[in-house]
Chains A and B, each alone.
Chain A
Amino acid sequence: MKAFVSMSVTEFRLSLRNFIYMFFAFVFPPMMLLLFGGIYGNEPTAFYKGHGAVDVLTPAYISMILAVSGIMGLPMQLAEYRQHKVLKRFKATPVSTGTIMIPHFVVNSILCVIGTLILMIVGKLVFNLHFFGNIFYFLAAYILSVMCIFSIGFLIAAIAPNNRAASAIAYLIYFPMLFLSGASMPLQMMPKAIVNVSRFIPLTYCVEILQGTWMGDPLSAFLGQIIILAAIAIVCTAVSIKIFRWE
């Protein structure tokens, strides 16, 4: 336990020193919110079916934060640790495999929550952000989304032969995902072709359940999304554990 806490605290500190990661997790989403909130305001509009733009965009931007932590932060850390034999060095101690690996998931989850809170505070202070849903439904949607996105990150770390490959894969997945899933721009604005493509992007389903439960829909309205996200989480985690190499 002592080792687990120490490992988590250390990983947390190290993540805070990663400037690019911190920018995309803590600064970029509120910047987007300030920009688009500044343009569209938070008054109810017909385009957002009687809701304010900021109220609709905030849960979408939350999924953007999950994607930064899960698709960029997590795999790049793990690939870097493997390439520089840090994982191997940790293995040459009495600590368990779980103590080496799980802190990465814990720390990136905590960073997600911090990023989410920053975004919500900015939304509240600047645009009087509203939450219309059931907090427990939203939390359940949030946790499921984190698990799904992180499992994809874990898979990237497991597949990538080195840390450059991991960064390349992470960027290649992260940026298209951002624009094609509705995480950065509403899919209603997109042409039909992109909407079709978005069906193949896991983050789309995260955006849907986060936005839906935020707006007051019950979880039962998203059975399809929940099944898809859970299936991705299970499959990716299982495959990653099977093929993950320590060096």
Chain B
Amino acid sequence: MIEVTNLTVTYKDLVAVDSISFDVKKGEIFGIIGPNGAGKTSTIECLEGLRKISGGEVTVMGINPVNRTALYEHIGVQLQEASFPDNIKVKELCRLFSSFYKNPADYNTLLTRFDLADKKNAYVKKLSGGQRQKISVVVALIANPEIIFLDELTTGLDPQARIDMWELIKSLRDEGKTVLMTTHFMEEAEYLCDRVCLMVKSRIAAIGTVKELVEQAQLSQKITFISKNAKRESLEGIPGITKITENNGVFDLYGNGRNLLRDTVVYITEKNIEFEDLSCSKPGLEDVFLKLTGYKLEAAI
């Protein structure tokens, strides 16, 4: 659906995007994640035909985004921080955007689906932040798009509104639409995205499914339990465990492998090692980011 080859964007002497390449497949949610200033918005705006490309090549459904008129019959966008005219009502806004397209989607259906049917006569600026963001998705969907671009859609939303939004985005994918989104929330990317592209300092640091990225980063899982009779030496035979620490009867075991938890439980059960409060924490995207960059994403925001 989307192909990006060696895309470069420069502003005067600043390189915002430095020769990146990736592709987005039909029907997937593709996330570009990274700290502010990593080049996420510049990248997405090149795909939307809103920004000049300094180098490389971009096609969206085979169309060069410079060709706005052709492109926008197929895509719907939500722009970061963009708002709608002051004093416009929800209904008027929907009607206006419907007039822009040859085959617009029925906005009444969309408003109902997004739980905004009773807000039709409300002024857009009087809506809550979450409702306004929903409106911007409704407006993007009026285009009847095959691809939807969402730029920092959930930034500034409260946790409940964010989770509502996640379900809505998932439902779009489930009806066969392709979603390309940017975010700086790791949990959001983990929960929503089929594939993610980690952008750091204008470049792609890693790309793939969350699982692939975690495996590639070779991060350890951590298994913790409390035991009265375990000895460190007696645990060393567990397959896959590479490091063991003990503190007052609390054991932390680090290691890799698909069956690490099962192997551990089987091993300590066979050895008649007593254990309680056993838990296993798997590394996530946040840990991948930390390993690749040396800092936590949350700390960068």
Contact = CB atoms under 8 A, between A and B. Distances in A.
A49 B72 CA distance: 62
Given A85-B79, A92-B72, A93-B72, A6 B84 contact: no
Interface residues on A, range: 20 to 34
A164 interface: no
A188 interface: no
A93 B141 CA distance: 12
User: Chain B's interface: helix, strand, loop or mixed, by majority?
Assistant: loop
A84 interface: yes
A2 B99 contact: yes
Interface in A59-92: 80-81, 84-86, 88-89, 91-92
Contacts of A14: 85-88
Contact of A86 (B69, B84, B101): B84
B301 interface: no
B63 to A, nearest CB: 12
Interface string A78-120: 0011001110110111111000000000000000000000000
Contacts of A124: none
Contacts of B228: none
A192 interface: no
Interface string B74-111: 00010101111111100010011101110000000000
Interface in A1-52: 2-3, 5-7, 10, 13-14, 17-18
B231 interface: no
B79 A92 contact: yes
User: Chain A's interface: helix, strand, loop or mixed, by majority?
Assistant: helix
Nearest to B139: A89
A7 B93 CA distance: 10
Contacts of A10: 85, 88, 92, 95-96
B79 A96 contact: no
A100 to B, nearest CB: 10
A86 B82 contact: yes
B85 A81 contact: yes
B1 to A, nearest CB: 18
B68 A85 contact: no
A93 B87 CA distance: 21
Interface of B: 48, 50, 68-69, 71-73, 77, 79, 81-88, 92, 95-97, 99-101, 143
Given A6-B100, A84-B82, A86-B85, 10 more contacts: A6-B96, A17-B87, A81-B85, A85-B79, A85-B81, A88-B79, A88-B82, A89-B83, A92-B72, A96-B69
19 contacts: A2-B99, A3-B100, A6-B95, A6-B96, A7-B96, A10-B85, A10-B88, A13-B92, A14-B88, A84-B82, A84-B83, A84-B84, A85-B79, A85-B82, A89-B79, A92-B77, A92-B79, A93-B72, A93-B143
